[in-house]
Amino acid sequence: MASEVTYAEVKFKNASPAAVVEVPPETKKHKQRRQKYPLWLPWLISLLLLLLCIALVTVFFVAPFSRRGDEPTALQQKFMKWQCVSAVPQGKGWMCCPDGSKHFQKSCYYVSSDRMSWVESQQNCTGMGSHLVVINSREEQDFLSKDLQQLRGENYYIGLRAQNVGEWQWVDRTPFNMTAAFWREYEPSNMVDQKCVVIHRPSGLHDNWNDVKCERHFRICEATIVTV
pLDDT tens string 187-219: 999 999 999 999 999 998 889 999 999 999 999
- pTM greater than 0.75: no
Q: Longest Cα pair distance anywhere in the chain, in angstroms?
A: 167
**Dihedral sign of CA atoms 79, 214, 133, 210 in order:** positive
Strands 218-224 and 155-162: parallel
Work out the pLDDT band at 11, boundaries 50, 70, 90: very low
CATH of domain 110-220: 3.10.100.10
Give the distance from CA 179 to its chain's centroid: 38
Distance between CA atoms of 209 and 182, rounded to whole angstroms?
A: 6
- For residue range 116-168, what is the model confidence (pLDDT) as tens digits? 999 999 999 999 899 999 999 999 999 999 999 999 999 999 999 999 998 99
Of all helices (H) and strands (E), which one includes residue 123?
helix 118-127
> How many beta carbons lie within 10 A of that of residue 135, not counting itself?
24
Question: Measured between alpha carbons, how far is 222 from 110 in angstroms, rounded to an integer?
Answer: 7
Number of neighbouring beta carbons within 10 Å of residue 168: 20
Contact 97, 76 (CB under 8 A): no
201, 137 contact by CB (below 8 A): no
Query: Which tens digits make up the pLDDT trace of 81-114?
Result: 778 887 766 566 788 888 889 999 989 999 999 9
